[in-house]
Structure 1
Amino acid sequence: MNHQRRSGLKVMAGLIGMVRPLLGFMALAIILGCAGNLMATFITVLGGYGLLTAAGFYDGNLGQIILVIIVFAVVRGFLRYGEQASNHFIAFKLLARIRHKVFAALRRLAPAKLDGSDKGNLIAILTSDIELLEVFYAHTISPIAIGVITSAVMIAFMACLHPAAAVLAAVFYVITGLVIPVVNSRLGGADGVKYRDLFGRLNTVVLDNLYGLDEILQYGGQKERMGHMNEKSESLEKISLRLKKRENTQKIATDWVILAAGILQAAVCAAFVMSGQMEGADGVIAVIAMMSSFGPVAALSSLSNNLTQTLAAGKRVLSLLEESPQVQEVVGGAAPGNGAIHCDHVSFAYRTAGEKDKKGEKVKTGEKPKIVLEDFCHDFAPGMIHGILGKSGCGKSTLLKLMMRFYETDSGTISYGGEDVNRITTSNLRRHVAYVTQEIFLFHDTIENNIKVAKLSASREEVIAAAKKASIHDFIQSLPGGYETKLSELGDSISGGERQRIGIARAFLHNSPVIFLDEPTSNIDSLNEGMILKSLNEEKEDKTIILVSHRASTMGIAKNVVRM
């Protein structure tokens, strides 16, 4: 994904913009937080008034002061609970909303923008990055507002005691709650982004090692793969240590500033008391108020430690949401025509390096584009089986992807019954075509549900009929659970040929006018291949079937064969 350059403030603005539907709850959290923090501060201040009253330096009612302290202490607990409950309600609602937006973005970007992308980074965005945003929504937005409001109230209170005490408090509030966090965030911002990116890359390495475990053990690659993973882990650890050191430095700086604020306030108030410009009791209360009121702004200071990574996570999430798809989905377009599929002078190249794609967007390195198809012309008539024969890398699979409009042609057109594929409503096109890819993905679910991916409303009878056509029914029936047998992750509990046949069963169940099959029998024995090809031959009357293979023997049932 292309992480756009944007400042921390822009990232925060983008994340805060998502709170709009829940502004009422956010306002409630801020009100409760302000009331709770002010009560916590004034418990200490009232304690000071109580001691001064007991010592005879202040004319107050000690009983009333103690009663108010007790009330504030009890109410403070309820206010704190209400603030946290409101913040976490906002956070969890927004995280669900963001996940929905991210999955919608992935659907929009797939498959062209996601082909060859770093899957580990995508997993990191979908899991840990979005989870980190909980810190922002539950522990950042309202604390900032609470810190500003409570500081303003305390400045006003100290101004009633003496203007100088208020000015001094304002200066140290700004240093603690604004200067230290901003400086810390700027120093650690780049490391935060690097940490999130490296975390994603480590995820990719771990996934590779898990999925390739058989090959690693077979060829003795444990040491090399472990070394590669250790290298990523060490790089991550170095950045983590730098972030931890910066966090410790920030904590020490905050503590020193708060200590200096108390000492300076005590010195200034003492000078005013000695010069007769301030009452002794007011001087004591001003110092107590200053020292007891740093909680909200000190919380803002410590936010910068978590905020470094949170904003980096937010930047990655926002970049994904704003990523423009390589192929725009067509909404409200035409329906596919039922005539021939016509390819008219189609050319296509995969773009890499410094090259610009059809939309003028640059890619990363300076390699030349890999031309896969050039000036390809052909008509695929309905009611028959067509074969596309050629060696690996000649563009057979790419042609099917262009017909599915996973990619757009660089030049030339593809049309269905006279309708340009670029003007056909994308959802209509997907319903019009059943596409069996080389690598069949199976979900960690029952065999029946894996076949029903093609038609969720299908009955068991329809599933069985499709499985029989794909020559997989007898195998399924031989399993202890039959169609209720649950497959392991990625379908590793069955063979490659059985995975392919489940993919073909999906195509039969989809029952669309057009079927694309990309190397559908490459992992299937000759007996089952013959049965599947026989089923395809029986289905051809009202369908357009395009069969891609590098094996000439598979082309036996094709009436029309294109050699590439």
Structure 2
Amino acid sequence: MNEFTTSMPEDFDARPNNAHISSDAYAMSAPVCIWRMLGLVGSFAGVVTLAVIFGVLGFLCAIFIPVIALAGLGVILNLPSNFFIFTSHDAEFLPFIISVLIALSILRGCLRYLEQLCNHYIAFKLLAVLRDKVFGVMRTLAPAKLSSSQAGNLISLITSDIELLEVFYAHTISPVLIASITSIIMVICAGILHPWCAFVALVSYVIVGLVVPVWIYSYMGNIGLQVREKAGDLTNCVLENLRGLAVVLQFSAIEARLERMITQSKQLLEHQKVVSDKAGLSFAVAGVLIMLLSLVQLCVCAVLVQQGSMLPLDGVIASVLLFSSFGPVVALANLGTSLQGTLASGKRVLSLLAEKPALRDVEQGVKLRPTSASVQQVQFSYPNTNECVLRDVSLEIPAGKIVGIAGKSGSGKSSLCRLLMRFWDVSQGRILLSDVPIDTIETRSLRAGQALVEQDTYIFHMSIKENVLIARENASFEDVQEACKRASLHDFIMSLPQGYDTQVSELGASLSGGQRQRLGLARAFLHDSSFLLLDEPTSNLDSLNEAVILSSLRSLAGKRTVVLISHRASTMNSADVHYTLDCGRVS
């Protein structure tokens, strides 16, 4: 594994700074988003079916508890009913009715549990699959497309956005099917009593279960997606403040940074308040409609009873049957609100999954460990920008030599370095590694044969030894020590109480800039690659440590090829071949 970090090269400003992974999230329609999320269910169809069966049976138990209680009342009052033609008006029939009510109550609880168990099994399994897919896609997008994405938005997407999809998989798919099936059954039951009762029930279910959620979703607009974006912005702001805490304290910028974070927080709260206000109104509308529609059913039944078209007890049963059967469709009405945030998260996640990498890994290419390079008339521009970073660049990097590349900041040195790693493909011209076109070399083989050290080395929150072993996990402890000696880091490590087992704080805050840089060099030495790319490897080092490292590099003469980028004349003196870049050209 090569030394790779997500820090920005010195000529990063040439890249487009308006690239976002979720830039097309607003363009994706809700039906398309839902269809794509449903496509992920696939192998869980059997579990979904079980959840629907348990859900329908559970709601039927809940709906018929008050209806069967009315049957018992009919027995007591000796009232006839066409709905319960099987009942007896004998008082001895009451214990049976009571037993049925008790059984339905217990069964309702068990079925509800089994339904939720199935739903959440599907949800959490799918969330695990989604996380795996997201990390897999992010790996293919790195570094070209992820370098211009804000870390806070990515963290928000990986954590809270994916977590919110639980609402869709656990509380949307099966509830929609359960509500549809239950409503059909209830319309049939109402039809047994009278066709007009069935008609009112059908209209009621359509209004509450379809019209209301569609209206609520439209009424909410794209506020859900805006909330997710604001949450990502706030996360990014917090991360910036934590990572730059030393700078903030040094320049007494606490108030300004705090005000910025408060502003971001207020913007998020304002959007969340809009969501809450609209959700409250939608819940109220749904509640009022349920009461009004139940009242309509009661009035229809009263007219039918008065006309002699329906028995009095059946009229009461029809009214209670409708009122108690709104549970499944109320869940759909509430989806209009919760689905806003869920679909917003779904759009962001699906947009990332659909993102095309700037370049694809070569899986069936030439396997080699590069020892030389030839850059031939290369021209390069970052995507979505017309500014050329490199113009007609040609140079040779002989095998086993140290090749120095100097130039002003922004001259294209770091970009050339990353083209040699094939983080991007050239716009024109070509790059050969060991006389083989770089885009035909197997990517895994290419990475195994190269190591990159940048000015800012990323340090993980674990021991120093584990940080170095990232370069070669199966390396022996003696190899780790030798690599650290070459990087002039061994003596410092041995001065620590726990030596190589010393834990490094998050982001390497417990190490100085020079120590972090030397740790990156130790990784490169341990990686045992044939092609080293060193981007300002001694920028944070004093003259003594620089001399030790340059001596280590000179000892590699003939064994490894080294591309050395530096502003320091003392560092460039170690190079066998010198090139200078000026405004993207070799001068």
Per the normalisation by structure 2, the TM-score is 0.92
The separation in 2 between residues aligned to 1:215 and 1:514, in whole angstroms, is 36
The separation in 2 between residues aligned to 1:378 and 1:19, in whole angstroms, is 53
* One-letter amino acid of the structure 2 residue matched with residue 541 of structure 1: G
SS at match of 2:179: helix
| Alignment correspondent of 1:3 | 24
Contact 2:397 2:403 survives alignment (8 Å): yes
Contact 1:336 1:432 survives alignment (8 Å): yes
Deviations 1:322-366 (A, max 9, x none): 0111122222111246453000001112344xx4xxxxxxxxxxx
2:27 matches 1:27: no
| Alignment correspondent of 1:364 | none
| Alignment correspondent of 2:537 | 520
* One-letter amino acid of the structure 1 residue matched with residue 218 of structure 2: R
The separation in 1 between residues aligned to 2:219 and 2:294, in whole angstroms, is 28
| Alignment correspondent of 2:221 | 189
SS at match of 2:108: helix
Alignment of 1:329-340 (within 5 A): 329-336=361-368, 338=370, 340=372
Alignment of 1:447-526 (within 5 A): 447-526=464-543
| Alignment correspondent of 2:251 | 219
| Alignment correspondent of 2:12 | none
| Alignment correspondent of 2:106 | 74
The separation in 2 between residues aligned to 1:509 and 1:214, in whole angstroms, is 31
Contact 1:336 1:416 survives alignment (8 Å): no
SS at match of 1:540: coil
| Alignment correspondent of 1:441 | 458
| Alignment correspondent of 1:401 | 418
Once the two structures are TM-superposed, the CA of residue 501 in structure 1 deviates from its matched residue by 0.8
The separation in 2 between residues aligned to 1:28 and 1:482, in whole angstroms, is 57
Once the two structures are TM-superposed, the CA of residue 370 in structure 1 deviates from its matched residue by 3.0
* One-letter amino acid of the structure 2 residue matched with residue 11 of structure 1: C
Alignment of 1:318-337 (within 5 A): 318-336=350-368
Equivalent residue for 2:166, pick from 103, 127, 134: 134
SS at match of 2:146: coil
Q: Which moved more, 1:222-231 or 1:301-310?
A: 222-231
Q: Which moved more, 1:58-67 or 1:177-186?
A: 58-67
Per the normalisation by structure 1, the TM-score is 0.95
| Alignment correspondent of 1:384 | 401
Deviations 1:155-189 (A, max 9, x none): 11111111110110111111111111111112213
The separation in 2 between residues aligned to 1:62 and 1:163, in whole angstroms, is 30
2:582 matches 1:547: no
| Alignment correspondent of 1:425 | 442
SS at match of 2:451: strand
Q: Percent identity?
A: 44
| Alignment correspondent of 1:279 | 311
Once the two structures are TM-superposed, the CA of residue 395 in structure 1 deviates from its matched residue by 1.0
Once the two structures are TM-superposed, the CA of residue 261 in structure 1 deviates from its matched residue by 1.2
* One-letter amino acid of the structure 1 residue matched with residue 439 of structure 2: N
| Alignment correspondent of 2:322 | 290
Once the two structures are TM-superposed, the CA of residue 473 in structure 1 deviates from its matched residue by 1.2
Contact 1:337 1:418 survives alignment (8 Å): no
SS at match of 1:516: strand
The separation in 2 between residues aligned to 1:50 and 1:459, in whole angstroms, is 81
The separation in 1 between residues aligned to 2:319 and 2:135, in whole angstroms, is 53
* One-letter amino acid of the structure 2 residue matched with residue 295 of structure 1: G
Count of equivalent residues: 549
SS at match of 1:348: strand
| Alignment correspondent of 1:50 | 72
The separation in 1 between residues aligned to 2:77 and 2:287, in whole angstroms, is 31
* One-letter amino acid of the structure 1 residue matched with residue 470 of structure 2: V
* One-letter amino acid of the structure 2 residue matched with residue 484 of structure 1: D
Q: Which moved more, 1:506-515 or 1:212-221?
A: 212-221
The separation in 1 between residues aligned to 2:271 and 2:433, in whole angstroms, is 54
The separation in 1 between residues aligned to 2:347 and 2:71, in whole angstroms, is 48
| Alignment correspondent of 1:264 | 296
The separation in 2 between residues aligned to 1:93 and 1:463, in whole angstroms, is 40
Contact 2:371 2:560 survives alignment (8 Å): no
* One-letter amino acid of the structure 2 residue matched with residue 414 of structure 1: I
Higher RCO structure, 1 or 2 (CA under 8 Å, sep 6+): 2
Equivalent residue for 2:285, pick from 246, 253, 266: 253
Once the two structures are TM-superposed, the CA of residue 450 in structure 1 deviates from its matched residue by 0.6
Deviations 1:352-387 (A, max 9, x none): 4xx4xxxxxxxxxxxxx3322111111101111111
SS at match of 1:378: strand
Contact 1:129 1:317 survives alignment (8 Å): yes
Contact 2:369 2:449 survives alignment (8 Å): no
SS at match of 2:557: helix
| Alignment correspondent of 2:59 | 37
Once the two structures are TM-superposed, the CA of residue 245 in structure 1 deviates from its matched residue by 1.0
The separation in 1 between residues aligned to 2:212 and 2:399, in whole angstroms, is 71
Contact 2:370 2:450 survives alignment (8 Å): no
Unaligned runs of 5+ in 2: 1-20, 81-86, 582-587
Deviations 1:59-91 (A, max 9, x none): 533222111111111111111111111111111
Deviations 1:477-530 (A, max 9, x none): 111111111111100101111111111111111101111111111111111111
SS at match of 2:221: helix
Alignment of 1:107-186 (within 5 A): 107-186=139-218
SS at match of 1:345: strand
2:378 matches 1:346: yes
Q: Which moved more, 1:312-321 or 1:468-477?
A: 468-477
The separation in 1 between residues aligned to 2:451 and 2:218, in whole angstroms, is 52
| Alignment correspondent of 2:122 | 90
SS at match of 2:52: helix
Q: Which moved more, 1:8-17 or 1:498-507?
A: 8-17
4+ residue segments displaced more than 6 Å: none
Contact 2:371 2:561 survives alignment (8 Å): no
Deviations 1:236-290 (A, max 9, x none): 2221111111111111111111101111111101111111111222111111100
The separation in 1 between residues aligned to 2:371 and 2:256, in whole angstroms, is 55
* Aligned-residue CA RMSD (Å): 1.3
| Alignment correspondent of 1:307 | 339
SS at match of 1:557: coil
Unaligned runs of 5+ in 1: 356-368
SS at match of 1:88: helix
2:35 matches 1:13: yes
Once the two structures are TM-superposed, the CA of residue 291 in structure 1 deviates from its matched residue by 0.5
Contact 1:189 1:312 survives alignment (8 Å): no
Contact 2:404 2:575 survives alignment (8 Å): yes
The separation in 2 between residues aligned to 1:339 and 1:95, in whole angstroms, is 44
| Alignment correspondent of 1:363 | none
| Alignment correspondent of 1:366 | none
